[in-house]
Structure 1
Amino acid sequence: MNREEFEAWERRIDDRARLLWEEQGRPEGGHESFRDQARELLAIEENPHAATHPADEPEPEGEPLEAIENQGEFPTLTDQGEETTYPHRADEPQWKD
């Protein structure tokens, strides 16, 4: 992006921020407080497919339960009285003797 394109981009952000500010009833702080929101909206409008996944790609899966169960003997963040630190399968008993 050269300097002219950057300045044009900044002007579009400023114009959109001013529009958002006016739509909100001109709150204190001026239109400068709406610049981040304006930047995000313009980026989405100019490249709407940048953050989408193709439909044929499968959704990534989480870690398997075995990976969580085999973490080892590390300290946990459980409160006193809580006996389990990870989820269990439905067919396994939750409390082991």
Structure 2
Amino acid sequence: MSDAEDRELDRRIEERARHLWEAAGKPKGQMDEFREEARQLIALEEDPKFATRPVKEATADTDGAESGIALENQGEFPTLTDQGETTAEPKWPRQRNDDGT
């Protein structure tokens, strides 16, 4: 990249960062974060496929099967039922009479 192109890129980054900063309500001391976000946005605009990678084909040894870890973790996902919703409420012991009944 030439010096002129570098200066143009820096100008675009600063301009985008300023717009992001203003849209966020002009928070103090956070301009570096907005510059980084602007840098990433501009990079994605210039080459949207840069951050993508092709899906790997299944190899002969896996044959497209899921790994054992995926099967082990299968039962660890939360459900729509909260804990304790399906269990009965605890029963208190019946009060006994003085004669023990």
Do the aligned partners of residues 58 and 33 (structure 1) sit closer, same or farther apart at CA in structure 2, a change above 3 Å counting? closer
Q: Which residue number corresponds to residue 21 of structure 1?
A: 21
Structure 2: distance between partners of 1:30 and 1:58: 39
Which of 34, 51, 56 pairs up with 1:58?
56
Q: Distance in 2 between matches of 1:41 and 1:29?
A: 21
Q: Which moved more, 1:23-32 or 1:5-14?
A: 23-32
Q: Between Structure 1 and Structure 2, how many residues are aligned?
A: 63
Whole-Å separation in 2 of the counterparts to 1:60 and 1:11:
45
Asked if the contact 1:20/1:31 (under 8 Å) is kept, the reply is no
Which residue does 1:12 correspond to in 2? 12
Task: Give RMSD over aligned pairs.
Answer: 2.7
In structure 2, distance between residues paired with 1:60 and 1:39: 35
Q: What is the match of residue 83 of structure 2? A: none
What is the CA distance between 1:34 and its match in structure 2?
Answer: 1.0
| Unmatched 5+ stretches in structure 1 | 65-86, 91-97
Rounded Cα–Cα distance in structure 2 between residues aligned with 1:16 and 1:6: 15
Q: 2 CA distance for matches of 1:38 and 1:59? A: 34
Please identify the structure whose Cα radius of gyration is greater.
2
TM-score by length of 2: 0.52
